Amino acid sequence: MKFNCSKNSLDSAISIVQKAVKTNTTVPILDGILIQAEGSSVKLTGYDLETGIEADVDSDVSADGSVVVNSKIFGEIVRKLPEDMVTIKTDDNFQLSIESGSTVFNIRGKSAESYPKIPVIGNNNKIILPQAMLKKMISKTIFAVSKDDTRQSLTGCYIESNGRDITMVAIDGFRMALRKTYAGEEFPTMNYIIPGKALNEAAKIFDDKTEDEEVIIYSSENHLLFDIGHVRIVSRLIKGPFVAYNSIIQKNPKSVMTISKKALLDAVERASLIILNDERRCPVQLYMNESGTVLTVAANTDCGTLREDVESNLTGEKIDIDFNARYIIDALKNIDEENIKIEFNGGNGPCIITPVEGDDFVYLILPIRR
């Protein structure tokens, strides 16, 4: 194998595929990057048996071949090379030579034959979406994905389409994040549970600077492929069923509040400054005055106390309820609207945050029982 390429292009591709390289693995070859040169192209691959990422590098290939090289060492070497142009070649013993200017590195590689194959997904089932739209939906729900492996379906985001709207939902057992976006008339129907890790890495790669860049999504029974041209991300799908999320959104709240998102977020963030740990023992408290026009945000911990009033408008029963401050902050930080509507369902029922008008998002938070 032998090819020439730009250091910057190679470094960028390495950084992308490293997101899928497995560290501290019992299968040593998985800590490597697969380099494949064939015809007029070079492809780098990282794969941890759940998520695989391929990135193309514009190159001048003079000899086909493949090799697996340690990801960390290879990446650090390329980043430190002195010149923009790089020449990479291997010998029959999989020794990798990296040349740039007068600098020549020689490192040991491994045969590509034992590197696991990324699942091949056909192009029969294809959906096209703007990268910016999908990136936004992921970033505003991914924080609520569960880290508890005992409930596999909740370790991913559920994405579905009813033929018109796309909905993405994440639930961790204590909160829910839901985003809905209009996708166009006669948009294909779909429903997948995609691992949070794969979505998180995909969102880092998607371009949100323009609405013109698209991602093509191919699916099979067990896997999903995000294709953005020079980069492809393959992920396993999580077997369902997912939680019936519509059934946990209560329809007849006991109290409804409208409030400035920024004012509430600022107050809860200030309260969190004295909640150093153990949020269940030291929650943030929300309660209303008699007139229903002022919401008080309060915290009382060994570190100190906070009490802050925020103007609001409440209809229905007065509220006096405790929450994990971090859950409120996570939800509010992912809302762009100036004003929001919050529905309460008594001291033990879920709090539901929605737009004042429309249904573009729903953030649900369970209170802390006193």
pLDDT in tens, 220-234: 999 999 999 999 999
> What's the pLDDT score for residue 185?
80
Q: Quick one: pLDDT band at residue 292, thresholds 50, 70, 90?
A: confident
Q: Residue range 300-307: average pLDDT?
A: 92
> What's the pLDDT score for residue 337?
96
Residue 14 has pLDDT above 90, yes or no: yes
What's the whole-number average pLDDT of the chain? 93
Give the other-Cβ count within 10 Å of 169's Cβ: 22
pLDDT digits (tens, 9 = 90+) for 80-124: 999 999 999 999 999 999 999 999 999 999 999 999 999 999 888
Cα separation of 156 and 201, whole Å?
Answer: 13
What is the percent of the chain where pLDDT is above 70?
99
Q: Quick one: pLDDT band at residue 295, thresholds 50, 70, 90?
A: very high
Residue 212 has pLDDT above 90, yes or no: no
> What's the pLDDT score for residue 24?
79
Q: Alpha-carbon Rg of the chain, whole angstroms?
A: 25
> What's the pLDDT score for residue 291?
83
pLDDT digits (tens, 9 = 90+) for 20-48: 998 877 888 999 999 999 988 899 999 99
190 Cβ contact list (under 8 Å, min separation 6): 127, 159, 160, 161, 219
Residue 249 has pLDDT above 90, yes or no: no
Residue 347 has pLDDT above 90, yes or no: no
Going by their DSSP bridges, the two strands 190-195 and 223-227 should be labelled as unpaired
> What's the pLDDT score for residue 243?
93
Q: Residue range 236-263: average pLDDT?
A: 93
Q: Quick one: pLDDT band at residue 278, thresholds 50, 70, 90?
A: low
Pick the range with the lowest mean pLDDT from 206-215, 217-226, 346-355.
Answer: 206-215
Q: Please, are residues 128 and 216 in contact by the beta-carbon 8 Å criterion? A: yes
Residue 17 has pLDDT above 90, yes or no: yes
Q: Which amino acid is at 335?
A: I
Q: Quick one: pLDDT band at residue 279, thresholds 50, 70, 90?
A: low
Closest by Cα among 23, 2, 37 to 72: 23
- Higher-confidence residue: 362 or 185? 362
DSSP output for 8-54 = HHHHHHHHHHGGGPPSS-SSGGGGEEEEEEETTEEEEEEE-SSEEEE
Q: What SS3 class is residue 313?
A: strand
Residue 280 has pLDDT above 70, yes or no: no
Q: Please, are residues 313 and 257 in contact by the beta-carbon 8 Å criterion? A: yes
Closest by Cα among 274, 266, 281, 256 to 328: 266
Torsion of CA 74, 208, 183, 199, to 10 degrees: 30
> What's the pLDDT score for residue 40?
81
Q: Quick one: pLDDT band at residue 302, thresholds 50, 70, 90?
A: confident
Residue 275 has pLDDT above 80, yes or no: yes
- pTM (two decimals): 0.91
Question: Domains in the chain, please, with CATH?
Answer: 2-114 (3.10.150.10), 126-245 (3.10.150.10), 249-365 (3.10.150.10)
Cα separation of 57 and 41, whole Å?
Answer: 7
Residue 141 has pLDDT above 90, yes or no: yes
Residue 205 has pLDDT above 90, yes or no: yes
pLDDT digits (tens, 9 = 90+) for 164-196: 899 999 999 999 999 999 988 888 888 999 999
Cα separation of 358 and 301, whole Å?
Answer: 38
